[in-house]
């Protein structure tokens, strides 16, 4: 990997609508490369959600409009199953990039890199990066430790999901020893809610729905509501976790009208159903317990169709399980 990076200007980039693993891995990789003397710059197409700004105190991550130039020769692409997830065309925006290093943990990764470091058993990309940075023998500091811990704790649901392995917990312990401040991380991510977000959540939960069999629960929000509450995508990140907590629910959905004619659907599952199987029906992807997809249409047009397809997938899965009993 280092031979591909040596002597070249490096772009560190990750998927749009950034989450904790995306931001954490981008910051950690950029800090490590700079520490080792490489010329590296970080980019994300979208604004960093307020809950993760503590991860990037030096504002390493540029927007597309603020990045100093487009002279980068190699790109390190993080936490993205394909290049479309970046939200921009690499070839057009960075025509001098001739080599791509793909570091990811999604099962659906398309292996688009010249070098593909893809481990679908890893709980987070930050877990993969920990192993890489240990090999590089960097000088560990609290900023790198905070960034990696953030990615791991958010992608594992605070170590609740079954993607959490004993190795995951050992890495988290090492990161605390390296200076990760779990108090700052906890308060910034989970105890840092603006009033407008809580008010919007209250309205959304007022209209929560449950399927007849009790296996699917879903919530939704219109573009009008998003604009009225002055929300962005980052503000909506954990809404889908609420319907999943209902007893007996196996699949939770959050249907968001992020722009006119465009819906974004978050899928969460509890134990029996693979979220990627549902998302893949609509051309999406993700992980076993957390996935998503986008479709064209309005809430009024598509809600019933989405639920019909999801119900069919759930019924199919339960029939399969029943036949094994």
User: Which CATH number covers residue 97?
Assistant: 3.90.1640.10
Q: Is there a single domain that holds both residue 289 and residue 163?
A: no
The model's pTM: 0.89
Q: Is there a single domain that holds both residue 22 and residue 144?
A: yes
Run means of pLDDT, 10 residues per run, the chain, 325 residues: 93 95 98 97 94 94 96 98 95 97 94 97 97 95 98 94 94 98 96 93 96 96 94 85 95 94 93 89 88 92 93 81 46
Residue 75, token pair as written in the block: 């790109």
Q: Report the alpha-carbon distance of residue 266 to residue 284 in Å, rounded.
A: 10
Q: Which residue range forms the structural domain that includes residue 149?
A: 2-190
Q: Is there a single domain that holds both residue 16 and residue 108?
A: yes
The reported pLDDT for the residue numbered 7 is 93
The reported pLDDT for the residue numbered 255 is 96
Q: Is there a single domain that holds both residue 71 and residue 220?
A: no
Q: Is there a single domain that holds both residue 59 and residue 140?
A: yes
Q: Is there a single domain that holds both residue 15 and residue 155?
A: yes
The reported pLDDT for the residue numbered 318 is 73
Q: Is there a single domain that holds both residue 29 and residue 135?
A: yes
- Please identify, among 174, 190, 206, the residue that sits at the C-terminal boundary of a domain: 190
The reported pLDDT for the residue numbered 107 is 86
**HSE of 15, CA atoms in CB hemisphere, 13 A:** 21
Q: Is there a single domain that holds both residue 39 and residue 132?
A: yes
The reported pLDDT for the residue numbered 323 is 45
Total domains, the chain: 2
Q: Is there a single domain that holds both residue 10 and residue 49?
A: yes
Q: Is there a single domain that holds both residue 27 and residue 164?
A: yes
Q: Is there a single domain that holds both residue 129 and residue 154?
A: yes
Q: Is there a single domain that holds both residue 33 and residue 164?
A: yes
153-164 b/e with 16+ CB inside 10 Å = b? bbbbbeeebebb
């Amino acid at each position: 990997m280092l031979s591909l990076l040596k002597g070249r200007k490096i772009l560190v980039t990750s998927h749009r609508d950034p989450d904790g693993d995306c931001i954490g891995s981008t910051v950690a990789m950029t800090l490590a490369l700079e520490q080792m003397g490489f010329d590296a710059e970080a980019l994300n197409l979208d604004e960093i959600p307020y809950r993760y700004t503590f991860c990037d105190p030096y504002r390493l991550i540029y927007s597309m409009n603020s990045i100093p130039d487009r002279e980068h020769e190699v790109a390190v692409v993080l936490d993205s199953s394909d290049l479309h997830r970046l939200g921009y065309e690499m070839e057009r925006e960075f025509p001098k990039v001739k080599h791509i290093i793909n570091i990811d943990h999604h099962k659906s990764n398309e292996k688009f890199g010249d070098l593909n470091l893809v481990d679908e058993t890893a709980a987070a990309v930050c877990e993969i990066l920990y192993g890489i940075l240990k090999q590089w023998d960097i000088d560990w500091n609290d900023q790198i430790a905070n960034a990696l811990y953030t990615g791991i704790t958010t992608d594992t649901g605070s170590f609740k999901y079954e993607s959490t392995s004993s190795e995951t917990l050992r890495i988290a312990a090492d990161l605390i020893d390296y200076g990760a401040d779990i108090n700052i991380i906890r308060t910034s991510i989970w105890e840092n809610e603006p009033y407008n977000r809580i008010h919007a959540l209250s309205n959304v939960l007022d209209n929560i729905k449950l399927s007849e069999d009790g296996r699917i629960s879903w919530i939704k929000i219109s573009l009008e509501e998003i604009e009225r509450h002055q929300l962005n995508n980052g503000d909506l990140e954990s809404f889908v976790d609420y319907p999943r907590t209902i007893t007996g629910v196996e699949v939770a959905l959050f249907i968001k009208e992020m722009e006119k004619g465009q819906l974004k659907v978050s899928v969460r599952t509890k134990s029996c159903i693979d979220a990627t199987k549902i998302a893949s029906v609509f051309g999406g992807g993700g992980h076993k317990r957390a996935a998503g997809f986008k479709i064209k249409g309005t809430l009024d047009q598509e809600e019933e169709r989405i639920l019909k397809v999801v119900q069919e997938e759930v019924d199919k899965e339960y029939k399969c399980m029943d036949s094994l009993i």
